[in-house]
Structures are given as structure tokens and as C-alpha cells.
Chains A and B, each alone.
Chain A
Amino acid sequence: MLGMLFVLTIHRFRKSKEVSGKSPDEVVVNSYLPWLFSRLFAFFKTAGIKGWRDRYQRWVVLRHPSRDRLVIICLGLSFCFLAASGFPFALLSGQRLYGIFLLLHVMLGGVFAVSLPLALISRARHYSFDREDTEHERAASLSGGTGTSHTPWSKIFFWLFAASGLCLIVTALTLMLPYFSLAAQMDMLEIHRYSALVSLLSALAFTYFSRVDDKK
């Protein structure tokens, strides 16, 4: 995960230099860290209510039609909680989820399972690999519509997120069904864990790539 964050920040760093007119070759390694800290500082500086309201405007309102917003918010928030509750237990405590976190994890897992297909239904067309659709989207985006332009990477990660999400839901469902032996359940649990990791990485990458080339 740290590797992914590193790659993405390096990519963003080089991109920012390109934007400022400098050749990537001119980018020196020792200017990366100051840049990173300055970005982090800027992020936390705007982490107040106003900052988040602005982000909500930029990330949700501008990108998604009103009918999709609730689904996107539900998907995003449930995914954030699922990751925040699942990974610390797996990485730090070495135990499986238990207690109230398990209960919330299961409940918000349900929200995730409902909002993911709805989000896919509304957004699948925009992330289709069909060339003409993409051009259409770009045209709509440039003309001020709600459509956005998407890079191939954002599409790949969108569908990777969807696939890993499917794995997460399938494994969660099978763990609740009385058909699988303990050994099979243990395997399912492993698949659930790795799917969660893939979905988190793909979500990070998708968020990054869908923003970095966003003209809005």
C-alpha cells in the first residue's frame, strides 16, 4: 500500500513539474520530499469544514449527477469504514474482527453491497472500454456537461475495483452460507482479505487517476 502511495505521489510530482513547464529530467529527487510535505500541509490546512465542503463540490457535485450522488457517497463512506475497520485488525492486532467493529463491518458491508451495483449501473457506461463512448464523454465534458474524461488507467482501476468488490461480496456471502466446510471458509477468508487489499489499492489508484487528468 505504501508502495502504491509512493508510485502515485511520484507520478503526481512529475506531472506537476510537467505542468509548470519543466522537463521531467530536470526534476531532482531531493525536491520530491519538500513537494510532498507541502502538498500534505496544504491538504491538512484545508481539512476544515469549508475544505471538505469544497472537496465535496469538486469530487462529487461536479462529477456526478444528483441522482447518483447518494449512491457514490454511500459507496465511498462504507468502503472507507470497511477498510478502516478491517485493515487495522488484520495488520495490527493479528486477530479477526470482533465486537462492535465486526457488527458495523457487516452492516456497512451490506451498504457497500447495495451501493456497488448501483454505482456500476450508473457509471459503467462512462468507464467502458469502447472508444467512441470515451470520445463522447470527453466531448460532453468539454462542453460543460456532467460527463468526465477518463484515462485508460482510471478505467482499468475502476473495473479492478468492481472485480475485487465482487470478490469481497461473494466471499462475505459464502461465509454466511451453511454449505462450506471450515477449511473452505478459511480459504474464503483469505480471498476476502486479499480482495480487500486489491480493492483498496485500486480505489486509491482510481481516485488518483480520475482526478489527475480531470480538467475540472
Chain B
Amino acid sequence: MNYRKRLLLILISLIGLSSLAAQTETKNQKWDGSRTTPVHLIPLKDEFDQLIVPSESFPLPYSTRYSCAPCHDYGLIQDGYHFNSASSSQHGRAGEPWVWVDPATGTVLPLSYRSWKQMWNPQKLGLTPWDLTLLFARHMPGGDFAEPKSDETSPESRWNVSGKLEINCMGCHNASRIQSHSEWAKQVLRHNFRWAATAASGFGEVGGMASRLPGTWDIYDGPNPDDTEWAVVPFVSYRPEIFDTKHRVFFDIPRKPDDQRCLSCHSIYRVGSKKYSSEEDIHSAAGLKCVDCHRNDISHDMIRGYEDEAEELDNREVSDFTCKGCHIGPDLSRKGGASAGRLGAPYPRHSGIPAVHFEKLACTVCHSGPVPERNFTRVRTSRANRLGIYGVAQWFTDLPHIIEPVFIRDSTGRIAPHRLMWPAFWGSVEGETVQPLKPAEIEAAAADILASEKHIAEILTAFTLYSGIEGIPVLVTSGKVYELNVDGGLDASLYSGMETRSETLWAIKKEEIIAPLIPDFDPQAEEVDVDVETRIQKALESLATISDAPGQPVLIHKNALYQVTDGYLEIKEAPGETVEIPRLSWLREDKVQPIVSEFDVRTVVATVGEEHTLTEEQVIRVLQSLSSLGNPQKSGEAKRFFYISGGRMFRLDESGNLAADEHPAAEPVVWPLAHRVRPAQQSLGITGCTDCHTEGSVFFFNSVRGDGPLKTQRMAVRPAHAFMELDKPYQKLFGLSFRIRPLFKVVLFVSVLVVGSLLLLMALVALARYSGLIEKRRQP
């Protein structure tokens, strides 16, 4: 045997051995046919594939990759639909985006790695997997972009400190009520990525915060005995009672994951509804679980259940798990079929509903989501509005504003109910290229323009340090009272006290009585009240604590200027005009300026306590600032900055005014809704055709109004029929025809009676004639 032959033989042997090894590995995944669930009593392994012994000092958190790996192919699971948004090229029907919400800059930006319409790819925005993990991993099951490959790190990332966010198997599969999504979210917020699954599963208690550790820290460094207060290295205290003598832990894994686990990230809340009155999806009420329809094998390629999924995946079996697959079967007009009736799905008779409805409409139009009303239903979703995280702080956000059901003709030509939100973001446009700007870039360019509420909150916070009085410091202006809330922002309420002498009044609220912080006094009096002087001094000292104050705090009244110098209240002659009412101000280089600018007051009055957080004046100023910073005259190509909100693109025109235009980037983001499926008795059309077909039908003639952080009258309005690509006059006429339809049916019925009777009569006559009966009777 020569050298080449030997080499070939070795090569073939190696290939054979490796394929045998591969077969052995896949054997682990094979189901033996038993319908029981194996008891998951397994040893915990850390990220170095080492057995975790809870009694050891500084035990590491458990790693799903290594703890579950002996039986389950982690690599295969990683490619499943729940974990492949950043790596897959197969995206399917549009789904809910991640929404980057930054109220301070008015940013509501829909993001997705999947190539869905109107959603921005995070990569194109310069967002790294690290950024995305910090923003959104609170509502994801780990893996995906939160577990990047080692070469996907970015300069600002701290994966070495936080660890990677492995797939949290127990996040979905744990049947124990101790599994806590809130704990998961909190650990993510603390950058405790590698500890999050352990904390959330309740296997142990996790302390410390990776976010406070220096970027040079590494898991090999272990705990820091010198700092047990602030930069505490994350640690796990395992619950010893859950381990057996072989250091194995019982994983309470049922055959089918509980709905509660799915709902941690997939809840929908109808804004304003009470918990007790919230209804379940009819499938859940009937005892089905989410995974009864949304099935998957070890690949975790979950069936989404929409009509064209089977075609897209080239897997006909998937079509059995659509509404039609279970309730009707393959033939729309005939009962029965291979998949029909699965899980006891009733066959819908759809009595009296013309067949055209089944061609043009998705099942969800009549059966899912809220019943259409004049005002669209505002909903919050777990992922977009941060629902389901419980703690002292309020986690959920009002933004983004999502409405449903908006009926839209999708790419398949069918009309289906969708959820809709209007994007809002700052950006630049160069030629045809639109580039959103990150909130941090806007904050840098806007400086104080977007900080009006913060300015006033800072002053009120400073006054709370004022120990001389009892009560809550407030600002009274424009008939409203503004006071601090627990989040450090402002709350507004109506002012019902006496008319104030000035536009803005700093005051103290005590038992609903509002009195000026600095009472009126006569500075020319021989002796000013000591209490007043103390108040002035305390107020000025409080203001002096504000960092980045624009000057020295002073009080001006008539022609007197009060300031604190070396701990003493000093009285000087005020520069400029006299002031009739005591006025707190900043003194800088002998120039006096109000303690808060009129712009700040205007902005706060316009936005605090309102749904909108920005004014047109703010937008103009920010756009001017962006233009001056980011568009040097020497640049050849004009880069124009814009702000998108409420379906309009706002830009400065040549005269510096704010122009609102339509632009594709300002169009709403939509994705189909599938749940909550209502009972048949609550389906659209159950009370007749006029549920939709009337001349004033909300189904056809509702309007979707643009919505966003900007307070403006120039928002986009989209009629419902336009989303469905339907003709309004025709639908009006068609709706009107239903007014006379009952009469029409009577006419047809009478017609049938008359024609039928005549035909019967004639048939009898013909029969009599051809049988000779008539001739016989006529014979004498």
C-alpha cells in the first residue's frame, strides 16, 4: 500500500468515525415514543463545564449551555426562531419590533434585525449587541444578540465583566412558581448577565452588581474583599436544600411550558382596563396552552401559525396549525381533513357569511383583538412597554402608544387586524438616505433645550432641602401647580388658590394651602422681619446647592438685591429696573436672569401632565442646534436634520419655520395581531352584516390619527379604508344598501312565491293536458 492510499484510508476512517460520533449525538435527541416527561434531576455546571458544589466558596452561576448540553443540543436551539433574529435570513411575517423609547428626546424608534417594513436595523444605527442587550434583554429569553460570538464585541461592551446572556431555558420551561421574570430583568439591568438565569430560576440568591465593577474585572478575579458596599462582585448563594447528595438539582420541567412563562414577554394590556375584567384568549379559556399551537421540536423553530408560513418554510405540516388547519381543514368549503378538529376545535358553520369574506379577510379580522370602536384601543405590550416587572419602582412605560385593531391589507392581499405605532425620532437626511440619530447625540446637541422639566425639578429638589419650612415646594404658573414626583420629574395639578401677583410663583404647599415661598415684604422698612430674612437666606442657600447653576442665587425686590456671602445675608442695590414682587434670580457678571427661563416655564406648562413631551418650539431650537453643529457650510452635500412624530417629518424651511411633510420614514409601523381570540359569540358579524356594512361603519371609515411625543396640530390622519386599499364612496354606497336589505329580502321572497306558484300551476296544466285530463273534462 503506497503513501497516497494510506492517507486516503485514514481520511475515510476519520470521516466514518466523525459521522458515527454525530449519529451518537443525534441519538440523544431522539424521542423513544413515551409520552412521559423525564425527571430532570441533573447536576449544575458552570460556564467552564465544572460541577457546581453549593457549599464551595464563591460558587459560579449555573450555565444552561453546559448543564442542559448532555441531552440537548444547545447549538441547534440557538438557531431556533426565539434566538435567531440577528443571525437568520428567514424572517417570515412581520412581528412586533423592539422599541427604543427615550422620553427625554422624544425617541420612539422601532428596531429589528429582521427585515420588516418600517423597522430599523440596529446595526445600521450603530447599535451593538451590547447596547441592545442593555436595552431589551429584560424581555428576551437570552441567546440571540445577548450572546454574541467572541469576535462581535465592541469597545464599549463589558462582556468580560457581565458574562454573556446564555439562553435561559428555565425562563420558558420552569413550572415552578418561583421562576421570576422580574428577577431576570433586574439582573440584566445590573449587568449580571451570567448570573441572571440562576437568580431568575430561584436556585440561588444573587447579590452584587457587575455594572459597578471596573471594566478590567474578570470572572477569574473573583470577589473583592476590599469593597463590600458599592462595587460588590456579583455572587450566588445557592439554596442548599435543592441539592441532593450528588449535587443534583431538580428542574421542574413539564412536558408543555406554562402560558405564564410565555406571557412574561407576550402579554397585551388594554390601557385602562381592570385586571378582574380582563378576558383570556378563548383557546386558553378552553384549556389549551400556547404551545399546543405554537409547537416546536428541539430546533426551537416555533410555529407562528399564520397562513403563509408553511409555504415560506416549505413545510406543509406547518399549515395544519393555522386557524384554518385546526378548525376547518384543507378545504374551506368542506368539513373534515387530516388536521381538522385538532384539540377539539369546533367546525365553524359561518352561516350566512358570503364566501368572499373568507377569500379577502384573515380569520383574525372577525375573531381577534378588541371589537372595532370609534376610538382605537390603546394597548401596552410586555416588550414595548416593559410590563410584568414588579418592584418598588414603576417599570412600565406609557410610550410607545400602540393601537389596535387597525385593519390593513397585507402583502398576501388579505385584510388582517394589526397593531400600529407611529415612530418618533431625530435624524438626518442626505439625498434619499435617512439616518436616525441616537438619543445621546440629540442630548449632546440639544444641551438645555430638552431639559426644561429637569431645570424646574432641580430647583424644587433644592427647595426640599430647605429646612426652614414645613410643606412641599411647588411652582404655580398658568393655573397649575407643579410639584416633584417620586421619579424626580414633575406632576401637574390644577391651582385653585387666590390669584397670584406674578406669572410664576415659587410656593410651599401645606395641607392643600399654597403660600409664597418668599412672602411679600418691604425692603425699605427699617427692620425686616427676621423670619422673612431667614427664609430668603435658606432659599438662596438651597439654590446654591444646584450643580451647574448659571450664576449666584439672588433675590430681587424693588431696588434691593439679597445674596448670601460667606454665610451672611447681604443686601445690595439691585441693578436694572425695580421689581415689585420678590423674585428669585441668578446673578452672573452683574447681569440678572430669572431662576427659570420663560422658555422652560412655557415648555413645562405645555408638556407636564400631558401625553406629549415636546413642543414645536423645542423642536425648532434642537433642529437649529443640530444644523449649526452638524452641517458646516463647507460641506458640499446639504445634510438636513429632521424630527419625525405623528406621521410627519418636521424640518426647518428656508425661513427657519417648522415645516411638516409626509415622508416614508414617518409612516406607521404595523404588525399583525393574532390574540386575544374572542369567543364566537363575540365575533365581528355575529349580530349581522351591519356590524361592518353601514354608511358610518367604524370598520371602514375610522381614522387613525398620528400620535407621538410632539405636541402639534400637524399630525397625519389616515382613513381606515386607505389601509385596506378600499374605495370609500363604494363602501359608503354598499353600506347604505344594507338599509334596504330587509325590504329587499321580502321582495325576493314574494317574488319566489309568485313565480313558484305560477310554475307549479303551469306544470299541473301541462300534466293535465298531456295526460288527456283536460280533453276528457271538455267532452260533453
Contact with B along A78-114 (1 / 0, CB 8 A): 0000000000000000001011100100110010011
B interface, CB within 8 angstroms of A: 332-335, 349-356, 358-359, 688, 727, 730, 733-734, 737, 741, 744-745, 747-752, 754-756, 758-759, 761-762, 765-766, 769-770, 774, 778
Number of interface residues of A (CB under 8 A): 41
A29 interface residue per 8 A CB criterion: no
Contact across chains for A117 and B355 when beta carbons are under 8 A apart = no
B463 vs chain A, min Cβ distance (A) = 68
Q: For A116, list chain B residues within 8 Å (CB).
A: 751, 755
Q: List the A side residues contacting B335 at CB < 8 Å.
A: 183
In-complex Cβ contact of A103 among B332, B737, B749, B758 (8 A):
B737
What are the residues of chain A within 8 A of B359 when measuring CB–CB?
A: 96
For A189, what are the chain B residues with a Cβ–Cβ distance below 8 Å? 355
Interface residues of A (CB under 8 A from B): 96, 98-100, 103, 106-107, 110, 113-114, 116-117, 120-121, 124, 128-132, 159, 162-163, 165-166, 169-170, 172-173, 175-183, 185-186, 189
Note all chain A residues with C-beta closer than 8 A to B766.
129
B765 touches A128 (CB 8 A): yes
Residues from chain A with a CB closer than 8 A to the CB of B333 are 182-183, 186
Inter-chain contacts of B748 with A (CB < 8 A): 110, 113, 169, 172-173, 176
- The residue on A at minimum CB distance from B727 is A99
Cβ A170 vs Cβ B351 within 8 A: no
Q: Which residues of B contact A166 (CB under 8 A)?
A: 752, 755-756, 759
Known contacts A103-B733, A131-B769, A169-B748; A178/B351 CB under 8 A? yes
Chain B contacts for A107, CB-based, 8 A: 737
Residues of A within 8 A of B353 (CB): 182, 185
* Extra pairs beyond A169-B748, A175-B354 (12, CB < 8 Å): A99-B727, A100-B730, A103-B734, A120-B755, A124-B762, A128-B765, A129-B769, A162-B759, A163-B759, A178-B688, A181-B351, A182-B333
**Can you pick out 6 interface pairs between chain A and chain B where the beta carbons lie within 8 Å of each other?**
A117-B754, A166-B759, A173-B752, A176-B745, A176-B748, A185-B352
Name the prevailing secondary structure of the B interface residues.
helix
B413 to chain A, nearest CB (A): 12
- In the complex, the answer to whether A182 meets B358 with C-beta atoms within 8 Å is yes
Closest B residue to A184 using CB positions: B351
What does DSSP make chain A's interface, helix, strand, loop or mixed? helix
With A182-B332, A186-B333 known as contacts, the answer to whether A162 contacts B755 (CB < 8 A) is yes
In the assembly, what is the distance between CA of A180 and CA of B770, in Å? 38
Closest Cβ of chain B: how far from A170's Cβ, in Å? Answer: 6
Which one of B334, B352, B758 lies within 8 Å of A124 (CB-CB)? B758
User: B352 CB to closest chain A CB, in angstroms?
Assistant: 3
Contact: B762 with A181, CB < 8 Å? no
Q: Which of chain B's residues have a CB closer than 8 A to the CB of A110?
A: 744, 747-748
CA distance A107 to B759 in the complex (A): 25
**Given A103-B730, A176-B741, are A117 and B352 neighbors across the interface (CB < 8 Å)?**
no
Q: How far is the CB of B756 from chain A (nearest CB, A)?
A: 6
Q: Quick check: A121 and B349 within 8 Å, CB to CB?
A: no
Contacts of A113 in B (CB 8 A): 747-748, 751
A182 touches B350 (CB 8 A): yes
Q: Among the interface residues A107, A117, A120, A132, which one has the most CB atoms of the partner chain B within 10 A?
A: A117
Chain A residue with minimal CB distance to B769? Answer: A129
- CB pair B759–A130 under 8 Å, yes or no, is no
The residue on B at minimum CB distance from A182 is B350
Bound Cα distance A131, B352 (Å): 45
